[in-house]
Amino acid sequence: MNFMPVKLLPIAVLALMANAVSADDAAAATESFFIELPADGIAMTHGGKMPLAAGPPGIALLQEPGIDNGLALLVKLRGPDGQVLGFASELEAFPANADPLHENVNWETDWTLVIPARGSLHLHEQEHSGEVGPKIINPVLETGTAWHGTFIETTTVGPRPDGNGVIVGGTGEFAGAVGTFVEIVTLTGFESPGVMIGRVELRITFDPAD
């Protein structure tokens, strides 16, 4: 990720689709939050081996043993109308000595969403890179030629048996929240040296209160 401003992608139509609750699931409430890349990036760091640009310049890398397989991301968070309403952190921990872009690897990810007017929400998932590595990132790294197009991948693969992530807890409006979520990545570009362009959607389904 770099941190240069870019034109934001339209999200209104996708937001309406994401927040629609089917007649068969009328008791559940679904809400989506969005991150535009790279515009909403505040800071990102990792162990130095990831094919993503750490930043801003001078940020410390996670090079110490025990954390050198991690990734830390801080971003702005948008609502369905595209307006910034909060911020979020994503912390990823990869298996030791694993290469998630070349191997069949799942890893642990924790999200913390902070929406000052509403409270905070803690989410946990297991992720898999799917076809993002072999189809997009690896060819760009090998050739140096930027990729632009549209590629959508749901990276959440657990820990629930149905492949969804889980709501761990929350504060304020989200205190006592229970439910599931998925992370959906829509890539529209990937440029050397590791600049990702697109959108991340966190689509959260809250279980009805007892």
pLDDT by 10s per residue, the chain, length 210: 443 333 344 443 344 334 433 334 445 799 999 999 999 999 999 998 888 889 999 999 999 999 999 999 999 999 999 999 999 999 999 998 777 777 788 999 999 999 999 999 999 999 998 888 888 988 998 898 999 999 999 999 999 999 999 999 999 999 999 999 999 999 999 997 889 999 999 999 999 976
**So what's the pLDDT on residue 13?**
34
pTM to 2 decimal places: 0.85
Q: How far apart are CA 44 and CA 91, in angstroms?
A: 10
**So what's the pLDDT on residue 26?**
46
Residue ranges making up the domain that contains 189: 12-17+40-206
**So what's the pLDDT on residue 27?**
54
**So what's the pLDDT on residue 51?**
83
Q: How far apart are CA 97 and CA 39, in angstroms?
A: 31
- Within-domain flag for 176: yes
**So what's the pLDDT on residue 6?**
36
- Within-domain flag for 168: yes
**So what's the pLDDT on residue 194?**
85
CA atoms within 13 A on the CB side of 15: 14
- Within-domain flag for 115: yes
Contact 100, 83 (CB under 8 A): no
- Within-domain flag for 26: no
Domain count, the chain: 1
- Residue of 199, 203, 205 whose CA lies nearest to 35: 199
By CB neighbour count within 10 A (0-12 exposed, 13-18 middle, 19+ buried), where does 75 fall? buried
- Within-domain flag for 34: no
- Within-domain flag for 113: yes
